[in-house]
Amino acid sequence: MRSSLKKGYKWMIGALIFTGMLGMASCGSKVEGASESVLTIEKDGTVRANLVEDFMEGYYDKEELQQAILEQAASYNRNAGSGSITVEKVEAKEDSVMVQMTYAGVQDYASFNHAVFFVGTAKEALEAGFDLNVVLSGVKDTSETVGESDILAMEKSMILITNINDGITVNGKALYISDNVMAAPNAKTIWYSGDENGLAYVIYQ
């Protein structure tokens, strides 16, 4: 490969792709300004990553990229356990590359990509050290807000806390979101729109 790893890159392939090979994806989702790459949290807790990136033709070929991804996934699996990450597809087209991967859980995605990616109950989030002293607004009615005590009382709901900029499709519908989150019209997919030092909060059920 031709140059150093791109620092702070939040995409799954941020650990794999080198500066100059790939750029940020253009806006192609239903929400204006949102990445067309999407992570899907399945009912069983696995995470499917469907990632799309622009690239500069001529910097690499498909085989080179695929080999890099397979090597990184294999290295992670040797340390974390076989089957933690599965590379499903690497497809290079004229002006973009698509990578599909499956992670055994959100923690595997977080560890592999050096990202914040928590899914659980509010109580579990508090026990994990996350600050729940936040104000979230309703997706249907933005004038409806909830705070820490309300969030902790939602025992049947799940909370997503992340700094990932790609779209995230939850197993349910978003009910309340922080002010740095955009939600799709169907409330099933959200995008973090804040800076990389902040966190997105989503209550869903």
Q: Residue 97 is part of a domain; what is its CATH number?
A: 3.30.70
H or E stretch at 47: strand 47-55
Q: Does residue 21 contact residue 4 with C-beta atoms inside 8 Å?
A: no
End-to-end CA separation in angstroms for the chain = 44
For residue 192, the cross-strand partners are 181
Range of the domain at 143: 117-204
Task: Specify the pTM.
Answer: 0.82
Q: What tens digit of pLDDT does each residue of 104-152 get?
A: 999 999 999 999 999 999 999 999 999 999 999 999 999 999 999 999 9
Distance of CA 184 to the CA centre of its chain: 15
Name the burial class of residue 83, with classes exposed (0-12), middle (13-18) and buried (19+) by CB atoms within 10 angstroms of its CB. exposed
Q: Is residue 50 part of a domain?
A: yes
- pLDDT for 14 equals 45
Using pLDDT thresholds of 50, 70 and 90, give the confidence band for residue 92. Answer: confident
Mean pLDDT across the chain, nearest whole number? 83
**Count of beta carbons in the 10 Å neighbourhood of residue 74:** 12
Q: Is residue 193 part of a domain?
A: yes
108 lies in the same domain as 181: no
Using pLDDT thresholds of 50, 70 and 90, give the confidence band for residue 60. Answer: low
Q: Is residue 153 part of a domain?
A: yes
144 lies in the same domain as 188: yes
